[in-house]
Amino acid sequence: MAATAIAIVRSRKLFAAVMLSGIFSLIAAVFYVHLTAVDVAFTEAAVGAGISTLLFLATLALTHTSTEEPHKPVRPLPLLIVVVTGAVLIYGTLDMPAYGDPEAPPNTHVIPRYINESGTEVGVPNIVTSVLASYRGYDTLGETVVIFTAGIGVLVLLGRGRRRWRPGLKSKNEDDEPGRGAEA
């Protein structure tokens, strides 16, 4: 996974970078299965690796971007910022609970109740589903509001005003919009 990330940083072709980000998402999904987060893996594979890559490719097609970038040397100031931030974050991890520790703070608070009671209280065997739809239902409502707003934003940005500007791109626009409806 780290190798793919570094390949993305180093790749000069835009198309390659987009494809690598799809591969990156897919590897992340496999990793989630290993971490027993099957629902997340499913979503990541479908949404992260599928729809995101599709959207990026649609943008590449719409903007007709030249795929070959001139070679740029490693820039010292951003690299310095990144290295310093990374070092501070790694220093911060020294206080974190160890991987897989059942006594870690995130695993000891509300979670036992979800695990013990959700079967009788909600009646769905999948705990993730019952937490998502029942205990944290408002979260999910907020999520749909965000997606709705984003959908409206996309429609406004790529909507009628744009077509008046560039009648040549009209048909491409219309191809693009149904995909956005499906993702909500």
Which of 22, 20, 26 is CA-nearest to residue 3? 20
Token representation of residue 138:
């408002």
Q: What is the DSSP letter of 51?
A: I
Nearest-5° Cα angle at 138, 115 to 120: 30
30 binds other proteins, rule: CB under 8 A: no
107 binds other proteins, rule: CB under 8 A: yes
1 binds other proteins, rule: CB under 8 A: yes
Answer for which of 30, 85, 171, 174 binds other proteins (CB under 8 A) is 85
Answer for which of 6, 30, 160, 181 binds other proteins (CB under 8 A) is 6
Distance in Å, CB of 174 to other proteins, minimum: 14
Max CA-CA distance within the chain?
61
Distance in Å, CB of 40 to other proteins, minimum: 5
Token representation of residue 180:
């956005």
23 binds other proteins, rule: CB under 8 A: no
| 13 beta partners | 68
Answer for which of 68, 136, 170, 174 binds other proteins (CB under 8 A) is 136
Residue 97 CA, chain-centre distance (Å), reads 25
Distance in Å, CB of 74 to other proteins, minimum: 8
Distance in Å, CB of 93 to other proteins, minimum: 4
